[in-house]
Amino acid sequence: MNSYLESVTKQFEYYKSLGEKTFDQIPEEKLFWQINDESNSIATIVKHLHGNMLSRWTDFLTSDGEKEWRKRDEEFDNDLKTKEELLAKWDEAWKCLFNALGQLGENDLEKVIFIRNMGHTVLEAINRQLAHYPYHIGQIVFIGKIVQNRTWESLSIPKGKSKEYNLDKFSKPKRKEHFTDDL
């Protein structure tokens, strides 16, 4: 990695891919399933990520990250009906994030932006979202594992395969690259 922005973009791409690999494994109707009334479905989590990403990354450097038009409470209504709706929101959200990141330069990292009137350097704001989104993507993956049970295909090192995985990694010379480059 030549820069923080390249590295963080790769991280976001990795977490986006985990969500998509989960969507691909589970039946459409299970995208809307809730384990109980207090939990969120995968679709609801996607709606929340969509609302958050659009709010945070639209006019990233010039307006507060909590937009007046955001209706956060409605993001938790389990009202998406199709996988196509879910994927459209997912794609729109990530496009907004990657477009905003793509416009940043290293000299922007110390600039101050605001989220709910609280100042953050650009670097801090990116790190905040890099913690927030994987938290929810982990929930998506966990729901996928519950739904698929024994038919779940691991998104990382499968159980019982750590030794094999490490043998492969250590058989290669030491190198500097992003961990996602060989996934």
Domains and their CATH numbers in the chain: 4-153 (1.20.120.450)
Residue 74 has pLDDT above 60, yes or no: yes
Q: Which pLDDT score, from 0 to 100, does residue 123 have?
A: 97
Residue 1 has pLDDT above 60, yes or no: no
Instruction: Give me the residue label for tokens 């879910």.
Output: 86
Ramachandran bin of 36, using left for φ above 0, alpha for ψ from -120 to 50, beta for the remaining angles = beta
Query: 64: helix, coil or strand?
Result: coil
Residue 182 has pLDDT above 80, yes or no: no
Average the pLDDT over 11-28 and give the result. 97
Angle at alpha carbon of residue 166, lines to 164 and 167, rounded to 5°: 65
Nearest to 33 by CA among 140, 152, 106, 183: 140
Rounded-to-integer distance, Cα 70 and Cα 65, Å = 10
Q: Which pLDDT score, from 0 to 100, does residue 2 have?
A: 59
Angle at alpha carbon of residue 183, lines to 47 and 180, rounded to 5°: 70
Average the pLDDT over 25-52 and give the result. 96
CB-based contact 40:76 (threshold 8 Å): yes
Average the pLDDT over 110-136 and give the result. 98
